Amino acid sequence: MDEKILLVEDDPAIVRFLKLALKTGHYDVDSATTGIMGINHFLSDKPDIVLLDLGLPDIDGMEVLHQIREIGKTPIIILSARDREIEKVDALDKGADDYVTKPFTVGELMARIRVCLRKSDSYVETPDSFVFKSLTIDFVKRKVFIGESEIHLTPIEYKIITLLVKNQGKVLTHAYIQNEIWGYPSDDDYQSLRVFMASIRRKIESDTNNPQYIKTEVGVGYRFLEE
Ligand code: CA
């Protein structure tokens, strides 16, 4: 059965374009042009994923996000025309799963949708290892390799890279990583996280200016890349 997408967006041009693109991608699409309609459709249609615009004519998209999160964990991708980083970060911290900034390509949006649906729909047992390009992580022995050579990471670096690969394809905010690794908010504006991240990259990336593994989402956080 096709997966059901709820699109909450007031711009008719974007609605038309996305409906066509998503239907071509074999998704079932339902759309709402206001925040209130979005919440009502969410309750009645039980979508598998929600694409949510922040700038809506009635209530703010952040309010829609908040109300949906009160009910459940359905993946939510923010469609944001606002490239102000603080709003993306705020949405991610308040439970959105990812965001795309307008204008975006269909390919980019489809990739984000696939990642979100994959994470949500199946409970996967923790695998023994992770392999991507030349990187291998052995979760049992807690060892990391590039090709055949072992890379020595500190315990914190190991925790960070493990967190990133377990969320491959998904953006993780600075605050999220900080909380998962240290368990308390940062008092240094994520400076120590940046230092750890730079160190991990020096160890695993062959060219830190053109990363193959960890992408910086400027002002937001980090994303472990996927194919
Ligand atoms: Ca809008």
Per-residue pLDDT of the chain (227 residues; tens, 9 = 90+): 689 999 999 999 999 999 999 999 999 999 999 999 999 999 999 999 999 999 999 999 999 999 999 988 999 999 987 667 788 889 999 999 999 988 889 999 999 999 999 876 655 566 899 999 999 999 999 999 999 999 999 999 999 999 999 999 999 999 999 989 998 888 888 999 999 999 999 999 999 899 999 999 988 999 999 87
pLDDT of residue 102: 87
Class (C level, CATH) for 4-122: alpha beta
115: Cα within 13 Å, side-chain hemisphere:
23
CA of 111 to the centre of ligand 1 (A): 22
Distance (Å) of CA 117 to CA 88, 153, 154, 216 = 20, 31, 32, 23
* Segments making up each domain of the chain, as ranges: 4-122, 129-224
User: What's the gap in Å between 83 CA and the centre of ligand 1?
Assistant: 13
Distance 71 CA to ligand 1 centre (A): 23
What is the Å distance from ligand 1's center to 31 Cα?
A: 13
Ligand 1 centre from 220 Cα, in Å?
Answer: 21
Do the beta carbons of residue 173 and residue 92 sit within 8 Å? yes
Residue 122 is predicted with a pLDDT of 55
- pTM equals 0.79
CA of 80 to the centre of ligand 1 (A): 8
State whether CATH 3.50.50.60 applies to domain 129-224. Answer: no
Cis? peptide before 103, omega within 30° of 0: yes
Rg (CA), the chain: 19
Per-residue pLDDT at 125:
62
Residues in contact with 183: Cβ distance below 8 Å, sequence separation at least 6, in sequence order: none
Distance 115 CA to ligand 1 centre (A): 24
The maximal CA–CA distance of the chain, rounded, in angstroms, is 57
Write down the H helix ranges in the chain: 12-24, 35-45, 61-71, 85-93, 106-121, 155-166, 174-182, 191-204
The phi and psi torsions of 48 (rounded to 5 degrees) equal -85, -25
What's the gap in Å between 53 CA and the centre of ligand 1?
6
Q: Do domains 4-122 and 129-224 have the same CATH topology?
A: no
